[in-house]
Structure 1
Amino acid sequence: MTYNQHFPFFVVDAFTSNPFSGNPAAVCILEEATSDEWLQGVAAEFNLSETAFLWHQQNNQWKLRWFTPTCEVKLCGHATLASAHVLARELCLKDEEFLFSTLSGTLVVKGNENTITLNFPKIEPKLFSNIYLHEQTAAIDTLDLNIVAVYQAGEDIILELAHEDEVLDYEPQFDKLAKIDTRGVIITAPGKNPDRDFVSRFFAPRFGINEDPVTGSAHCSLAVLWSKKLGKSSLRAEQLSKRRGIIELGVYPEHVSLIGESRTFSRGNLAL
Structure 2
Amino acid sequence: MRQWTIDAFAQAPFRGNPACVVEPFDAWPADAWMQTLAAENNQAETAFLLRTESADRFGLRWFTPALEVPLCGHATLASAHALFAELGLTTEAVTFDTLSGPLIVSRQDGGYAMDFPASPVRQVETPAGLAEALGVEPNEVWAGPFLVAVLKDEAAVRAATPDLAALTTISSAATQGRGNVGVSALAGGQPYDVVSRFFAPGSGIPEDPATGSLHCMLSPIFAQKLGRTRLDFHQAYPGRGGDLDCELAGDRVILRGQAVTVMDSRLRL
TM-score normalised by L of structure 1: 0.92
Q: Alpha-carbon deviation of 1:25?
A: 0.1
Contact 1:16/1:260, CA 8 A, preserved across alignment: yes
Question: Is 1:12 aligned with 2:27?
Answer: no
Q: Alpha-carbon deviation of 1:213?
A: 0.4
Q: Alpha-carbon deviation of 1:228?
A: 0.4
Contact 1:190/1:199, CA 8 A, preserved across alignment: yes
Q: Alpha-carbon deviation of 1:34?
A: 1.2
Question: Is 1:250 aligned with 2:240?
Answer: no
Q: Residues 180-219 of structure 1: matches in 2 within 5 Å?
A: 180=170, 181=172, 182-183=177-178, 184-219=180-215
Question: Is 1:178 aligned with 2:168?
Answer: yes
Q: One-letter code of the match for 1:97?
A: A
Counterpart residue number, 2:53:
58
Q: Alpha-carbon deviation of 1:240?
A: 0.4
C-alpha distance in structure 2 between counterparts of 1:87 and 1:146, whole Å: 43
Question: Is 1:31 aligned with 2:26?
Answer: yes
Counterpart residue number, 2:41:
46
C-alpha distance in structure 1 between counterparts of 2:143 and 2:208, whole Å: 19
Q: Alpha-carbon deviation of 1:209?
A: 0.2
C-alpha distance in structure 2 between counterparts of 1:216 and 1:123, whole Å: 11
Q: Alpha-carbon deviation of 1:179?
A: 1.9
Question: Is 1:21 aligned with 2:11?
Answer: no
- Residues 79-138 of structure 1: CA distance to partner in whole angstroms, max 9, x if unpaired? 00000000000001101110100000000110146211100001122011x3x533xxxx
Identity rate, percent? 37
Counterpart residue number, 1:3:
none
Question: Is 1:161 aligned with 2:151?
Answer: yes
Structure 1 gap ranges (5+): 1-6
SS in 2 for 1:82: helix
- Residues 10-60 of structure 1: CA distance to partner in whole angstroms, max 9, x if unpaired? 000000112211100000022321110000000000000000000211221
C-alpha distance in structure 2 between counterparts of 1:120 and 1:195, whole Å: 24
Is the deviation greater in 26-35 or in 206-215? 26-35
Contact 1:124/1:225, CA 8 A, preserved across alignment: no
Counterpart residue number, 2:137:
146
C-alpha distance in structure 1 between counterparts of 2:31 and 2:120, whole Å: 31
C-alpha distance in structure 2 between counterparts of 1:165 and 1:88, whole Å: 38
SS in 1 for 2:36: helix
Q: Residues 60-99 of structure 1: matches in 2 within 5 Å?
A: 60-99=56-95
- Residues 131-151 of structure 1: CA distance to partner in whole angstroms, max 9, x if unpaired? x533xxxx4243211211111
Q: Alpha-carbon deviation of 1:67?
A: 0.2
Contact 2:194/2:232, CA 8 A, preserved across alignment: yes
TM-score normalised by L of structure 2: 0.93
Q: Alpha-carbon deviation of 1:178?
A: 2.4
